[in-house]
Amino acid sequence: MSATPSCLLTTTPELPSDPVDIRLVVTDMDGTLLDGTGRIPEGLWPLLAELRRRGVLFSPASGRQYATLARQFAAAGDGMVFVAENGTYVVRDGVELSSDPLDPAPAARVVETTRRLAADGVDVGAVLCGKRSAYVERTDEAFLAEAEKYYARLRTVEDLTAVEDEFLKVALFDFGPVERTTAPALEPFTSTHQVVVSGEHWVDIMNPTANKGAAIRRLQRDLGITPAQTMVFGDYLNDLEMLDTAEWSFAMTNAHPDVIGRARYLAPSNTDNGVLRTITRILRLPTP
């Protein structure tokens, strides 16, 4: 369900005359829910309590690791569904609901491509994302500092191609603009896998069937929730398919232009508390 120019708005939509029956709220994290310092807004915690009281499921959907999301929402995580690793791993209360594992052979080829890029002077490193942990073989402090922001469980190994785990994706961090350097080098993988730019410096390689949208559709089907009962928020290219799952789809005003073109509505930016303000407004909740 792609947006058409006639339904794009420059602000949040007018309040409908009747109450909106929302059963599921899904939000990206970085550039969407998190503020300018990368923190969860304090106003989210009372909002989550009110959503739960009303029977509305709140679900973070992120390229981040499940362990990282669970840690961030430890104060309010019971019953919450985490759409982790760009939709390749969906977990509720520690129980896997769905996953889309990546075969070891293409994962190893991505690692080898990363090594070649680094040998040619590109400042890039790979994070091999497994269900048990994430793994890196690059060990400099600058790279580890970036990886640790998103991977609470992170192990350093000598050889990523020798790791044994059930893999979900390979994430590459490029200290330069990833769309100009690393992403073009991954073009050979696009015929068989998804190559998704998930941030200015990150690109993910996953199965062709894996994305946030596919994970949310499975969740909707399992819970009996319709697109009309779903509200989603996103800001970057890994959120595109997710926007198609909801009639209430919002791009942040700071979003990538392609995301703004795909969403039905715009929400205020993440630095302006856009997710909380929009949920509160549409559902007529007390102002946090």
pLDDT 10s digits, 139-198:
999 999 999 999 999 999 999 999 999 999 999 999 999 999 899 999 999 999 999 998
What average pLDDT does the segment 123-130 reach? 98
The identity of residue 243, as a single letter, is L
Please determine, for residue 222, whether its predicted confidence score (pLDDT) is greater than 50.
Answer: yes
Identify the pLDDT of residue 288. Answer: 58
Nearest alpha carbon to residue 249 among 268, 230, 236:
230
What average pLDDT does the segment 87-114 reach? 95
Please determine, for residue 245, whether its predicted confidence score (pLDDT) is greater than 70.
Answer: yes
Mean pLDDT score across all residues of the chain? 92
Nearest alpha carbon to residue 96 among 66, 63, 119, 73:
66
Nearest alpha carbon to residue 208 among 196, 218, 222:
196
Contact 276, 47 (CB under 8 A): yes
pLDDT band, residue 12 (cuts 50/70/90)? low
What average pLDDT does the segment 76-91 reach? 92
Q: Specify the range with the lowest mean pLDDT, choosing from 17-26, 53-62, 95-104, 263-272.
A: 17-26
- Rounded to two decimals, the pTM is 0.87
Active-site choice (18, 21, 28, 78):
28
Beta-sheet pairing, 154-156 with 134-136: parallel
Q: What share of the chain is helix, strand, coil (3-state, %, to 5)?
A: 35, 25, 40
Cα(12)–Cα(118) distance, integer angstroms: 44
What average pLDDT does the segment 112-139 reach? 97
**Beta bridge pairs of residue 134:** 129, 154
Cα separations (Å) of 126 from 113, 136, 184? 10, 6, 16
Nearest alpha carbon to residue 120 among 185, 169, 198:
185
Please determine, for residue 15, whether its predicted confidence score (pLDDT) is greater than 70.
Answer: no
Identify the pLDDT of residue 16. Answer: 67
Contact partners, residue 91, CB within 8 Å, separation at least 6: 66, 70, 81, 82, 84, 97
What average pLDDT does the segment 6-27 reach? 70
What average pLDDT does the segment 7-11 reach? 44
Identify the pLDDT of residue 3. Answer: 38
The identity of residue 277, as a single letter, is R
Phi, psi of 142 (to 5 degrees): -65, -45
Identify the pLDDT of residue 162. Answer: 97
pLDDT band, residue 13 (cuts 50/70/90)? low
Structure tokens at 232: 């989603």
Identify the pLDDT of residue 19. Answer: 75
Cα(20)–Cα(106) distance, integer angstroms: 44
Could you confirm whether 28 is annotated as catalytic? Answer: yes
Nearest alpha carbon to residue 192 among 173, 171, 206:
206
